[in-house]
Chains A and B, each alone.
Chain A
Amino acid sequence: MTTFALPGLPRTVLRLHRTALIVWGTFVAAVIGWLVWLNTVTADRGEREMAYCEHHETCNILTALNYSERTGYIGTLVCYSFLAVAAWAGAALIGRELESGTAKLAWTQGVTPVRWLTAKLALPALLLTLGGTALVLAFRWGWSAHRDLMGDDWTFADVFVARGPATVAYGLCALAVGTLTALLIRRTLPALGISLAAMWLLNFVLERHRGSFWPTLTRTSATRFDLQNGLWQLTKGHGADGYYVTYHPQSHFWPMHLVETGIVLAVAALATLIAFRLLPRRTV
């Protein structure tokens, strides 16, 4: 076995949060493994079922349905993984340390509170970024591999987040918000609940306003019409020039996604800043 020449403080942080490290690593590996299995083992059978159905009256599309449903689950897991991060950061990473007094134990070893908090944030941030990036890349590949078997599109709330860096941004934001909540409340269970609620609320608000993060396009017509699939329709109505629909084409995915990522990262930066400003008041 190789011994890594990690400095003492990061090594201690990893030792303390070994369980979380293992859970996160297992989650990332399991989700990627599941995607690979779905797309290499089951997708072909799903495609054969669909092909058979085109020429027969009665047919079975169970494998195709399972493929679609499970890929949907994976998108949900990847997108909302930040909720688990928020709970963990509020409770296990910081809250428990403050409640049980073990933070004081660290601060009376040769470690200042600022270095302690830096290590406590930097290491999880690194691992969340690495794991989150792997999840996003895997999901982008898996989600686009067999579009003909899938019933969803890019506008679905979880698919929208899981297909880009917003997944990583939400994870980092959950880490910062959980830390800030724990520093404010200093008790494990309330910090867990409040940081979870705060991150859920942030996601809820951004999800509601996602459509306004980029200017919409408008299509008008003298007669009633429907947009084709793959466009995100926002409003629809009847005005002076006839019927109109405002919508986002798929090319708006990246600008909208990056605006949301930027907002989430700004919240994360703000929460981190306040957490560090709060620390000297909690101790020297």
Chain B
Amino acid sequence: MTDTAGLALEATAVGRRFGARWKAPAWALRDCTFKLAAGRVCAVVGPNGAGKSTLLALAAGLLVPTEGTVTVLGTDPASARTRVGYVAQDKPLYPQLTVAETLRMGADLNPGRWDAATGERIVADGGLDPAARVRSLSGGQRTRVALALALAKRPELLLLDEPMADLDPLARHELMGVLMAQAAQHGTTIVMSSHVVAELEGSCDHLLLIGGGRVRLSGEIDDLLAAHVRVSGLAETSLDPHTVVEARTTGRQLTALVRPSGPLPESLRTSTPSLEELVLSYLRNPQAPGTTPAEHEKAAI
């Protein structure tokens, strides 16, 4: 394997099955293949139950894949443990510890890596009392402590499962800024899952769209947007041989999101879709053929 250099995360035909073998096991993730170059900020989007959390837990070394391999920072997830930060969706923290004790635990459990100043700053910026018990914090305050714990570890890869879900818009904006500053300053690769596509646009440069346990789209957001066109025209216009992701006809008017495989008919009006439009089109049409264009992967590496 020579092409793992410079990759933060690589999944090859990864599948994870839950439930006992004799009880109709369910696949949370199946045949999942993608590569993510180091230094990227990657959004993992998909409907509820798509397998986003499973994917992040596999990358964090908390789950073992049933099939396939996950490579994290050039090694297996368990060996990369010290270099990976992870914040689970429910933000587990020890309720009996104070905020300061939680950070001290981070320092104790990450010898040689811990950046106390970063942790204390993130907590202080939220106006949290270091002497407050974790059990007395609100959901948003817990998220802040969990992020402080993950960031002060100075991870090379940061895995965040729905990190902003219970933050108010102001805190969300501020913490997103902290994350982006971390990525820019230390070259940290960030992988975060979210329902809210709008909050990812402008901060993420890589997209991984998961649906039904499989990867439907993977690539640089700019490349994915460039590969798709929103078209509108007369209903009888044929869209062959282009790949149609979503098409709607209202009266005699056709609007569609297509992935052109050549020049489009001149009678169509074209525009560039937004990230949200692109993602929603794929989510609304689970049967639409996905893409992980090879040229985008090369460009990413």
Contact = CB atoms under 8 A, between A and B. Distances in A.
18 contacts: A12-B109, A15-B104, A15-B105, A16-B105, A102-B93, A104-B60, A104-B92, A105-B149, A107-B62, A108-B60, A108-B84, A108-B86, A110-B81, A110-B153, A111-B81, A112-B81, A284-B62, A284-B78
Contacts of B109: 8-9, 12, 106, 109-111
B170 to A, nearest CB: 26
B62 A108 contact: yes
Contacts of A223: none
A94 B96 CA distance: 15
Interface in B54-85: 60-64, 76-78, 81-82, 84-85
A102 B94 CA distance: 6
B219 interface: no
B248 to A, nearest CB: 42
A166 to B, nearest CB: 33
B31 interface: no
Contacts of B166: none
B94 A19 contact: no
A48 interface: no
Given A104-B92, A110-B81, A110-B113, A8 B108 contact: yes
Contacts of A221: none
Ordered nearest first, which 9 A-B pairs have the shortest CB separation?
A8-B108, A101-B92, A109-B109, A108-B86, A284-B78, A110-B82, A110-B110, A102-B92, A284-B61
Interface in A4-38: 8-9, 11-12, 15-16, 18-19
Contacts of A16: 94, 96-97, 105
B contacts with A: majority SS: loop
Interface in B230-252: none
Given A16-B97, A107-B62, A283-B62, A101 B88 contact: yes
Contacts of A11: 108
Interface in A63-119: 100-102, 104-112
B13 interface: no
Interface of B: 60-64, 76-78, 81-82, 84-86, 88, 90, 92-94, 96-97, 101, 104-111, 113, 149, 153
A197 B90 CA distance: 32
Contacts of B81: 107-108, 110-112
B106 A284 contact: no
Contact of A283 (B63, B110, B111): B63
Which of B60, B92, B111, B149 has the most chain A CB within a 10 Å cutoff? B92
Contacts of B101: 15
A58 B84 CA distance: 80
A9 B101 CA distance: 13
Nearest to B101: A15
B97 to A, nearest CB: 7
Interface of A: 8-9, 11-12, 15-16, 18-19, 100-102, 104-112, 283-284
B111 A105 contact: no
Given A12-B109, A110-B109, A283 B93 contact: no
Given A8-B111, A12-B109, A284-B78, 17 more contacts: A9-B108, A12-B108, A15-B101, A16-B94, A16-B105, A18-B96, A100-B92, A104-B88, A105-B88, A105-B93, A108-B81, A108-B84, A109-B110, A110-B110, A110-B111, A284-B61, A284-B63
Given A108-B86, A112-B81, A8 B107 contact: yes
A283 B97 contact: no
B110 A112 contact: no
Given A16-B97, A109-B110, A110-B81, A284 B64 contact: yes
B75 to A, nearest CB: 12
B127 to A, nearest CB: 23
Q: Residue among A8, A18, A102, A110 with the most chain B CB within 10 A?
A: A110
B192 to A, nearest CB: 15
Contact of B78 (A8, A15, A102, A112): A112
Contacts of B85: 108
Nearest to A100: B92
B8 to A, nearest CB: 16
Contacts of A100: 92
B150 to A, nearest CB: 8
Contacts of B149: 105, 109
Nearest to A105: B92
Contacts of A284: 61-64, 76-78
A283 B61 contact: yes
